[in-house]
Structure 1
Amino acid sequence: MKKEINKVLNFIDLHKGEENKRKVIENITSSISFRGSNLWILACAILIASVGLNVNSTAVIIGAMLISPLMGPIVGAGFGLGMYDFELVKKSIKNLLIATFVSLAISTIYFYASPFKEAQSELLARTSPNIYDILIAFFGGLVGVIAVTRVEKGNPIPGVAIATALMPPLCTAGYSLALGNIGYFLGAMYLYAINCVFICIATFIIVKFLKYPIAQQLDIRREKQVKYGITILIMLMILPSIYFAYQLFVEKSYRLKTEVFIKKEFTDHDYPIIYKRIEYNSNPKKIELAFLSKKFNNEEISNLNKKLIDYNLPNTQLLIQQDTFNISRDILNKMNSSKDLVDKKDIIINSLREQLSEYQFNNEQITDESKVLFPYISSLVIGNYSYKNAQNTKIIPVVLYQSKKELDKEMNHKLKSWLKIRLAKDSIEVYRQPFK
């Protein structure tokens, strides 16, 4: 039994493949300083990350994280604490503060000068940290410091840079300063602090486990002060993040309940919804809907609001937009601008179902022809779709076809070209209506 246990311990032994400790310390010490090339690399990485957040490009943000040198002083601080080398700790913190200040300054200037001020989803994701961010930072830090102490560094280092994500929170804080949004700034800086602290703590644990040489012998009292300080720092980071995680859970739960309410009261009754917006942070909370053709009187709306309690949606108001003229006029603008709309094709298809009855072609012959030319098509309906804008009313022939599988790009182009010639129209829209 003891032999089996020794085999397991030998299998997971972290000392295997370990780099010479003196060489690791030298490498860590040299990566701390933000002077010359390191400062230029940091500045370029911050600009790249800011552009990525500005245009909502995940790939660009990942690229910036890969070239960022911010991990150096954080890991250095962890090594300093683990070895009780307080000079190394001071040097690491000093350089981290320099890097943080430079990053904030550059990102603030960029976002202040940028003509695009809208907060994109990648940016907003860095304003509300929670307990999961702590787990990512801690285990990412563990992987990072284990890789640093190996002879063969391997692939983990780039992955750690991406997972722990030090650059985006700093750029988000710069965006917040440029726009004067204190709430976003505090959230972003809190996420940055979480990443720094828990990478440092993960480093401290591995340094202690691998028994790196102690720089100076501490008395028991001073050693306890260090441990108490780390414990207090952990609690200061964890407690708010648990609260934020709970708030996130409550919000997700609320949105799930609203979807159940909408499905049972509207979707299951075949009322096509063309607009949906849920305002969770308002008081009272609001569910705003617009329907393609269904009209609700005041009594029905009042009864629906009363039903919100049955779905465990207290302090919530249901608002139904019923100005069909404005909805028809703005439907295309809403499709392009609102993040809460249903799929664009679904909107157009639902709209066409209602309008085709008024603008129906006598298209039996065309349907028969299409089945010969395009065997995959089982049925085809053609109608005129009209919509109004500020200048005029446009009427476009629209084709809805049914098929078991969607036509490929080439066949779809042929179908469209044939219909243009067959109907003698310059412009035409073609959509597939899937089988139910």
Structure 2
Amino acid sequence: MKESSVLTNQELYDKIYDGIYPKKENIMILVCAIVIASIGLNMNSQPVVIGAMLISPIMAPVQGLGMGLATFDARLTAKALKLLLLEAGFAIVAAAIYFLLSPITYASSEIVSRTQPTIWDAIIAIFGGVAGMIGARQKEPNNIVPGVAIATTLMPPLCVMGYGLYERDASFFFGAGYLFLVNVSFIMITAFIVVQVLQVAKRKVVNKEEEKKRKYLMVGLALLIMIPSIYSAGSLVRRQVAQQNAQSFVSQEFSQFYVLNQEIDNDNQELVVDTIGTELSEEQVSQLQTKMANYNLDDYQLVVKQVADSDSLSLQDIDRYLEEKAQETRGMSGTRALSSTVTTEPLQRQMEAIKKALFSEFPNRITSITLRNSETRSGDEAGIVDVTPSARISEEDREAILEKAAELTKGASDITINLTD
């Protein structure tokens, strides 16, 4: 008879019970994992964070809590809770010491992202808890439990709590603490449900009323913990929708300008756009403000910050932005400023290079540059670069722009530069 590949209920109980003994080796592994994860968060490196979660032993006491509550085993529940608190305490202190010694202590995006748990974190923890118990039942070694440790991110919130402790920032500490609570609670609750489904023998005689009370208690706990995450998820969705609308608005309505930076401030209900070129008039800004309603941004105030002085922005900053913009537009199959069909990639690159060179050379003397394509009589594709200079520039400046344009189009007979008024 073929031997079963899964553990019996008693073997599963023994496996989880044996895994929650506090061991010096596990504490040392945990501290190492926390330091590795802290470095990953500090340096914005997801692979390093994932590696830390793989070696973390913190899943065992969480599963032990679910098993203890489901089997009415007060001893197992108490031991699992003590081990979880002990490991969490060591992890937070180790992370705080790391950030105390680290020369880089700014709040990276990886750190900030662990301070706002949402309903999706709860859903991940639910399915992760189910997968974790299924993996724990397997006799053969498998990667299910380590995978659950990665998916449910139990380690990073503890690192961020350590960061919040070091910075004495309650928002980081309690935000990450809530994420850790969400993950632990829902893994524990799903472990509780799986153990109930498997009908693992209870460690004491209980009547149906007592068993029903415990189930209600678990459901109430789940709802209590989930409510703030639902609100957080709603806020996150609103922010992301506003961000997407803002990106669409800027790419469409600012297509003739180079936008150095755009930022949407949800707290102050502002869309801040930094551009290169001559300062936009109040009438232009007012027209743009009116158009924001077409992008569901009625409640936001448009703030345009103009970089009109070349001394206030280095050419390296301009070059870096323009290179990123050129890569983005090529990835989207052409610039939106082009009329009708998209130009071929070599021609597009030449036109983008000309646009970059002109803006870099005359950042405060050119209002806008528009790229468009045309077709010659022979059917070949040609490019047209329309340059709109500032209304206040001198004749010498206009001549300088024309000379630079001639220099840039030398040898490129399929590109024409027009100086418009």
How high is the TM-score relative to the length of structure 2? 0.75
The verdict on how the C-alpha distance between 1:309 and 1:346 changes in structure 2, with shifts beyond 3 A counting, is: closer
Contact 1:73/1:93 (8 A) holds in 2: yes
State the SS of the aligned residue for 1:215.
coil
Matched, 1:35 2:23: yes
Aligned to 1:286: 271
Contact 1:126/1:188 (8 A) holds in 2: yes
Distance 1:191 1:327, change over 3 A: farther
**d(CA) in 1 for partners of 2:265, 2:359:** 38
The offset of 1:33, in angstroms, is 2.4
- For 2:410 and 2:134, locate their aligned partners in 1 and report how far apart those are by CA, in whole Å: 58
Cα RMSD, aligned residues only: 3.2
Seen in structure 2, the aligned counterparts of structure 1 residues 401 and 163 have a Cα distance that, compared at 3 Å, is farther
TM-aligned CA distance change 1:188 to 1:334, over 3 Å: farther
CA contact (8 A) 2:318 2:360 kept: no
- CA–CA distance in 1 between the matches of 2:94 and 2:297? 44
Q: Is the 8 A contact 1:78 1:201 kept in 2?
A: yes
1:62 aligned to 2:46? no
Residue 79 of structure 1: aligned partner: 67
Question: Which amino acid letter does the alignment assign opposite residue 286 of structure 1?
Answer: L
Mapped to 1, the partners of 2:196 and 2:205 lie a distance apart of 14
Residue 279 of structure 1 and its aligned partner are, at CA, apart by 2.8
* Aligned 1:255-334 pairs, distance under 5 A: 255-267=243-255, 271-291=256-276, 293=277, 295-326=279-310, 329-333=313-317
Report the Cα distance in structure 2 between the residues aligned to 1:401 and 1:177, rounded to whole angstroms: 62
SS in structure 1 of the partner of residue 313 of structure 2: helix
The answer to whether residue 95 in structure 2 is matched with residue 111 in structure 1 is no
**How far apart, in 2, do the equivalents of 1:43 and 1:192 lie?**
17
Per-residue Cα deviation, 1:302-336 (whole angstroms, up to 9, x for no partner): 22223323432133222223232247733524777
CA 1:56–1:87: 2 relative to 1, 3 Å? same
Q: Does structure 1 retain, via aligned residues, the 8 Å contact 2:53–2:153? A: yes
Letter in 2 for 1:91: K
Aligned to 2:134: 146
Indicate the residue corresponding to 1:136 in structure 2. 124
- 1:289: Cα distance to partner? 2.7
**TM superposition shift of 1:212:** 0.8
Residue 59 of structure 1: how far off its partner (Å): 1.2
The residue identity in structure 1 corresponding to 2:281 is N
Aligned to 1:204: 192
1:115 aligned counterpart, secondary structure: coil
Partner of 1:122: 110
Q: Does residue 241 of the first structure (1) align with residue 229 of the second (2)?
A: yes
Question: What is the aligned residue count?
Answer: 348
Q: Which runs of 5+ in 1 are unaligned?
A: 1-14, 360-377, 380-396, 403-436
> What is the alpha-carbon distance in structure 2 between the residues aligned to residue 190 and residue 357 of structure 1?
48
Offset at residue 114 of structure 1 (A): 1.3
Q: Which whole-Å deviations, capped at 9, do the CAs of 1:27-56 have from their partners, x for residues lacking one? A: 211211233111111111111111111111
- Secondary structure, aligned partner of 2:259: strand
> 1:426 maps to which residue?
none
> In structure 2, do the counterparts of structure 1 residues 306 and 218 end up closer, same or farther at CA, with 3 Å as the change threshold?
same
> How far off is 1:91 after superposition?
1.0
Q: What corresponds to 1:353 in structure 2?
A: 355
Would you say the 8 A contact 1:251–1:280 is kept in 2?
Answer: no
Residue number among 129, 138, 153 corresponding to 1:165 in the alignment: 153
Q: Cα–Cα, structure 1 residues 358 and 96, in superposed 2: closer, same or farther, change >3 Å?
A: closer
2:295 is paired with a residue whose SS is coil
* Cα distance change, pair 329–176 in 1 and its aligned pair in 2 (3 A): same
Letter in 1 for 2:297: L
SS at structure 1 position matched to 2:309: helix
Matching residue's letter, 1:279:
I
Contact 1:82 1:204 in 2 (8 A): yes
Structure-2 residue corresponding to 1:19: 7
> In structure 2, what is the equivalent of residue 232 of structure 1?
220
C-alpha distance in 1 between matches for 2:204 and 2:298: 60
Question: Does the CA contact (< 8 Å) of 2:9 and 2:198 recur in 1?
Answer: no
- Using a 3 Å threshold, how does the CA distance of structure 1 residues 224 and 106 change in structure 2: closer, same or farther? same
Alpha-carbon distance in 1 for matches of 2:87, 2:224: 23
TM-superposed deviation, 1:284: 3.2
Note the alpha carbon deviations across 1:115-145, whole angstroms, 9 max, x for none: 1112222222211111111111111111111
